Structure 1
Amino acid sequence: MSTAFRSSPPRAVVLLSGGLDSATTLAIARDAGFDCHCLSLDYGQRHRIELEAAATVATALCASEHRVLHLGLDEFGGSALTDTRIAIPVDGVQPGIPATYVPARNTIMLSLALAWAEVLGSRDIFVGVNAVDYSGYPDCRPEYIAAFETMANLATKAGVEGRKLTVHAPLIDLSKAEIIRIGSKLGIDYRATVSCYQADEQGMACGVCDSCRLRREGFAAAGVADPTPYMRNPQEA
């Protein structure tokens, strides 16, 4: 008897921070039939607990592999996330680019994902950037993602030989509430995720940083109970 040939699912590199958005992005990639290889970056962030969350999420969502690369962007500083001398903003989301912007972070992360994708023979990278309910980062905009994809196809052996790479940003035009609704339908346990910029070693969220505010408002707008463990009553924020 002959056995019908079954092709392997396409591989994708998924950037996974351990937060709500990247977890949802992983779930979307998996639901689309990709064999997901997750990449996290230990860049000297003050909320390193997110890396433990990333490992938990990768296991829960059946990723084929999860790697953590170590790159000390705190050597440069320049961000409230990598330099403890710079205060985390806690007065609500304000216009402009906040102190939590990490110079070139998404470019660095996408470049590392691109390198791994070439080695894996993958033509797909997934990233959980969002240009609706976000803090104003320039490297979360659609035009940035399009520009990076163009560069990737110019700069790689795979691209030059005609194996076009696609950078997927499935959340880029969604509100936080829409993201949460999609993730909930895909079975994500958001208790396992850490979004807070100054979460403690147990993953308790401050409730007042921009990321906490956007996350909390998103759950409320989605009509989904917020499972986030907070250090204080969110109503006090």
Structure 2
Amino acid sequence: MNTTVKQAVVLTSGGLDSTTCLAIARDQGYRCHTLAFDYGQKHKAELDAGIRISRALGAGDHKIIRIDLASIGGSALTDPKIAVPDHPTRGIPVTYVPARNTVFLSLALGWAEVLGACDIFIGVNAVDYSGYPDCRPAFIEAFQDLANLATKAGVEGERFRIHAPLLHLSKADIIRTGVRLGLDYGMTVSCYSADEEGRACGVCDACRLRREGFREAEIPDPTRYRPGSPFA
């Protein structure tokens, strides 16, 4: 592997967390290659946001991979028959996409091996994480072990590292970190029901966590809300 340049693959959804993760990786001196997925999600505006963010933050390459997770359904983010909740729910919410982070990290691992990069960044969070099981520390640790067992590079002595720098931060702390690094969060799209222009609904779980984060951080919320939203 090429060790002369510190390179990383950064999963970039176009949302607040992944954008902060990209800014952190860049601040740590990595040449970042960003990876997004068109996986059948209803909120496609995040893909356009990911392109803009990657350009603005100077990513070396930006790749969008198509995966048809909608064909297996099981999530309000991919199945038109399941509505995105407009209020908090108990347990693992219907916005959980089965195996999503496992699939995403697997493809990021493949691209990292091709690029000669040993580092992969993902913006998962175990504090304000909506109850998703693939956002926990145990999952990240297990996938890192898998990465070093299941790759040619790992067998030949390289060591892959899965970085989750937001894992133990509150949403307010994530926002403070991004602001310190000069991020414009107005570029990001977090809403599960964003319209084609990327405007937020203001009522889904992602919107609620985002708005509470800005309030707790005492930083003005730059989110664009669509007409009819309670915050428009």
TM bin, normalised by shorter chain, reads over 0.9
Contact 2:225–2:231, Cα closer than 8 Å, also in 1: no
Q: For residues 120 and 82 of structure 2, what CA distance do their matches in structure 1 show?
A: 32
Structure 2 match to 1:225? 220
Structure 1 match to 2:53? 57
Contact 1:180–1:218, Cα closer than 8 Å, also in 2: yes
Structure 1 match to 2:107? 112
Alpha-carbon shift at residue 84 of structure 1 (Å): 1.1
2:116 maps to 1:121:
yes
RMSD of equivalent CA atoms: 1.2
Q: 1:207 aligns with which of 191, 195, 202?
A: 202
2:193 maps to 1:198:
yes
Q: Which runs of 5+ in 1 are unaligned?
A: 1-6
CA change 1:233–1:88 in 2 (3 A) is: closer
Q: For residues 197 and 235 of structure 1, what CA distance do their matches in structure 2 show?
A: 16
Q: For residues 88 and 227 of structure 1, what CA distance do their matches in structure 2 show?
A: 23
Structure 1 match to 2:126? 131
2:152 maps to 1:157:
yes
Local SS of the residue matching 1:167: strand
Structure 1 match to 2:68? 72
Q: 2:92 aligns with which of 93, 97, 109?
A: 97
TM-score (norm 2): 0.96
* Pairs aligned (count): 229
Q: Which runs of 5+ in 2 are unaligned?
A: none
Structure 2 match to 1:3? none
Alpha-carbon shift at residue 9 of structure 1 (Å): 3.0
Alpha-carbon shift at residue 75 of structure 1 (Å): 1.0
Q: For residues 125 and 175 of structure 1, what CA distance do their matches in structure 2 show?
A: 21
* Structure (1 or 2) with the larger CA radius of gyration: 1
Letter in 1 for 2:87: D
Alpha-carbon shift at residue 230 of structure 1 (Å): 1.1
Contact 2:86–2:204, Cα closer than 8 Å, also in 1: yes
Structure 1 match to 2:22? 26
Local SS of the residue matching 1:132: coil
Contact 1:9–1:33, Cα closer than 8 Å, also in 2: no
Letter in 2 for 1:223: E
Alpha-carbon shift at residue 149 of structure 1 (Å): 0.3
Q: For residues 189 and 80 of structure 2, what CA distance do their matches in structure 1 show?
A: 19
Contact 2:202–2:231, Cα closer than 8 Å, also in 1: no
Identity, % of aligned positions:
62
TM-score (norm 1): 0.94
Structure 1 consecutive aligned stretches of length 4 or more whose deviation exceeds 6 Å: none
| Superposed CA offset, 1:173-213 (max 9, x none) | 00000000000111111011000000000111000000000
